[in-house]
Structure 1
Amino acid sequence: MAKFVYVIGTADTKLDELVWLKTRLHAAGVNARIIDVSTASASALYENGKIDISSSHIAGYHPEGSSAVFCNERGQAIAAMSVALKRFLQSTSEDISGLIGIGGSGGTALITYAMRSMPIGIPKLMVSTMASGDVGCYVGGSDIAMQYTVTDLNGLNYLSRTILTNAANMIAGAVSHVAAPVKAQKPVLGVTMFGVTTPCINQLIPVLNEQYDPLVFHATGNGGTSMEQLIADGEIAGVIDITLTEVADLLFGGVLACQETRLDSIARTEIPWIGSAGALDMVNFGGVSSIPERYAQRQFVEHNAQVTLMRTTPEENFQLGVWIGRKLNQCNGPVRFLLPEGGFSALDAPDQPFFDPQARRAFAEGLESTVVQTSQRQIIKTPHHINAPEFAALVIETFNAVMRHQGSSHHSTPGKL
């Protein structure tokens, strides 16, 4: 059966653009069908042949029926249509070769919500007026590509034709040369890294590669989200969560915050987890002008023109220890938290600007006063710095011991990626 690229948008406001995309895809030799996700009312465009799949048809996939979508309340209608579209795509996933959506703020939220439910590897492109800013809320842990429209999507013009043609050719190229599915030959691991913990990870990866297939996630908020999603999907056999800096941003208003659900997948799946305090000595902001007024008197390092790092205080470190400790208490699988008393990052070292033994002690106090230690849930202290060879050796030793014990009671299988 022939597969299709689904071209998705609100045909009541963007019909010309949808038709242009479909036409350009056909010119590139790609089968395409237009999906209308208009929410104002049931569209008649299907009857006159302008679209292939009507908004009424999509709305019927909502668990409460199409009336949940056509409710005359815009926010509620968009949320309901996004649920309906997700269920439709999931029901027809075997027919999908790729997805391309167009939209403004509402359409982008609607379409990307459904796109995120599709497996990694299916080409996904969102052409959006919202693509020039922070797109984390749209992409999440998926592999959605975002393309900025430059102008608003309000009819065709010389510029929008060019941008939409490029978008069509991008998705056509992706589906025409799609990567063949690859099955991992070794158990897949999740590993978290930040620039200031890179020396540690660089020591771990060559050793891990001997037995495992490590996936390194950049701890930028979305990195943690992506890893957690793959854990939930059963793709990851174990985690070396060296860098939890996203939690500091979550608690103290940084720009690289994880979700409140960080570490919940570890509790649900009970897979082996080795964690540490990587980069908890900092909160991430954008340029200097983006720093909240309440933090004006704090200690900062200007990493570059777009990234400014703020040193966490002892009080904040105590809160971090409590937050992480509470999460670990929900985990009944094998978890080990390795506490590097010599420093949490490259900046938290002697003669470096964030060196603060008091803050590290406060974190340890918060963590140790919260975690209920058991044979499965343990805190292991080491005097070494997180980037020291001795710490990397401890990580490997601890992880191997946990995996050996886990293997004796549970057969680990490679991930499906």
Structure 2
Amino acid sequence: MKTVAIAGSFDTKSTEYLYAKDLIESLELNTYIIHTGVSKSTFKPDISREEVVQAAGGDIKVLAQKKDIELTSEVLSKGMENLIPKLYEQGKFNGIIFFAGSKKTSLITPAMKALPIDVPKLMISRVSSENTSQYVGKNDLIMMPTIVDVDKSNFTSTKIAVFTIAEMVKFENN
């Protein structure tokens, strides 16, 4: 069975991401959970924030002591950029999805762009309605707009995104 990686902040958006996870699994796909949040996840992910930070050569305890959100986000982004292609090469997932507000979009897009062409990658973000060249560049990364931030009141955008990535993954390399 094919697998969709779900990367996200499972410290602040766990309800929303668990909803997406359940939807993906109801479509007969596996999920692979990667925590990109600053704080501890509310449930056990497949890849923890500590592992993401380590992939950038950092230490989560040191970052926590500094209490610098911008630095932590920068390290998480670099860790994702290093880690995501390796996880894909190991066969951990066939496609990846990330839901973000305006601040987190830049955290994951470098990692998505580091994946080979033809790997399904879907970014759901409010900045999708703006100039996205800084996020996409010359890549096949798909950005989908959401009118409001991904939250409990916006499960419609989540459903559309999940159905989109599911079909992309199901038909990838077929």
What TM-score, normalized to structure 2? 0.89
Per-residue CA deviations over 1:318-374 (Å, capped at 9, x if unaligned) read xxxxxxxxxxxxxxxxxxxxxxxxxxxxxxxxxxxxxxxxxxxxxxxxxxxxxxxxx
> 1:179: Cα distance to partner?
3.4
Q: Which structure 1 residue ranges, 4+ long, deviate > 3 Å from structure 2?
A: 64-71
- Corresponding residue of 1:235: none
> 1:140: Cα distance to partner?
1.3
- Corresponding residue of 1:36: 35
- Corresponding residue of 1:26: 25
- Corresponding residue of 1:135: 132
Of the candidates 70, 77, 81, which is equivalent to residue 75 of structure 1? 70
State the percentage of identical aligned residues: 27
Of the candidates 55, 59, 62, which is equivalent to residue 61 of structure 1? 55
Of the candidates 157, 164, 167, which is equivalent to residue 163 of structure 1? 157
In the alignment, is residue 103 of structure 1 matched against residue 100 of structure 2?
A: yes
Give the secondary structure class of the aligned counterpart of 1:80: helix
Change (3 A) 1:44 1:146: closer
> Are the counterparts in 1 of residues 100 and 149 from structure 2 also a CA contact under 8 Å?
no
Change (3 A) 1:18 1:44: closer
Aligned counterparts of 1:27 and 1:65: Cα–Cα separation in 2: 36
In the alignment, is residue 176 of structure 1 matched against residue 170 of structure 2?
A: yes
Aligned counterparts of 2:97 and 2:55: Cα–Cα separation in 1: 20
**Aligned residue type for 2:156:** T
> Are the counterparts in 1 of residues 126 and 148 from structure 2 also a CA contact under 8 Å?
yes
Per-residue CA deviations over 1:176-198 (Å, capped at 9, x if unaligned) read 01135xxxxxxxxxxxxxxxxxx
Per-residue CA deviations over 1:347-404 (Å, capped at 9, x if unaligned) read xxxxxxxxxxxxxxxxxxxxxxxxxxxxxxxxxxxxxxxxxxxxxxxxxxxxxxxxxx
Change (3 A) 1:30 1:3: closer
Give the secondary structure class of the aligned counterpart of 2:138: coil
What is the 5 A alignment of 1:391-402?
A: none
Per-residue CA deviations over 1:9-59 (Å, capped at 9, x if unaligned) read 1112211111111111011111112211012x3x1524xx4x332212222
In the alignment, is residue 92 of structure 1 matched against residue 92 of structure 2?
A: no
Change (3 A) 1:110 1:168: same
Per-residue CA deviations over 1:134-170 (Å, capped at 9, x if unaligned) read 11111112111111111122x312xx11110110010
Aligned counterparts of 1:128 and 1:117: Cα–Cα separation in 2: 19
Give the secondary structure class of the aligned counterpart of 2:152: coil
Change (3 A) 1:67 1:120: farther
**Aligned residue type for 1:124:** K
Aligned counterparts of 1:125 and 1:69: Cα–Cα separation in 2: 29
Count of residues in Structure 1 that have an aligned counterpart in Structure 2:
171
What is the 5 A alignment of 1:278-317?
A: none
For the pair shown, the structure with the greater C-alpha radius of gyration is 1
> Are the counterparts in 1 of residues 34 and 47 from structure 2 also a CA contact under 8 Å?
yes
Change (3 A) 1:117 1:147: same
- Corresponding residue of 1:147: 144
What is the 5 A alignment of 1:105-254?
A: 105-153=102-150, 155-157=151-153, 160-180=154-174
Aligned counterparts of 2:145 and 2:63: Cα–Cα separation in 1: 28
Give the secondary structure class of the aligned counterpart of 1:114: helix
Q: Return 132-141 or 54-63, whichever deviates more.
A: 54-63
> Are the counterparts in 1 of residues 34 and 48 from structure 2 also a CA contact under 8 Å?
yes
> Are the counterparts in 2 of residues 45 and 54 from structure 1 also a CA contact under 8 Å?
no
Unaligned runs of 5+ residues in structure 1 are 181-417
Aligned counterparts of 1:6 and 1:98: Cα–Cα separation in 2: 6
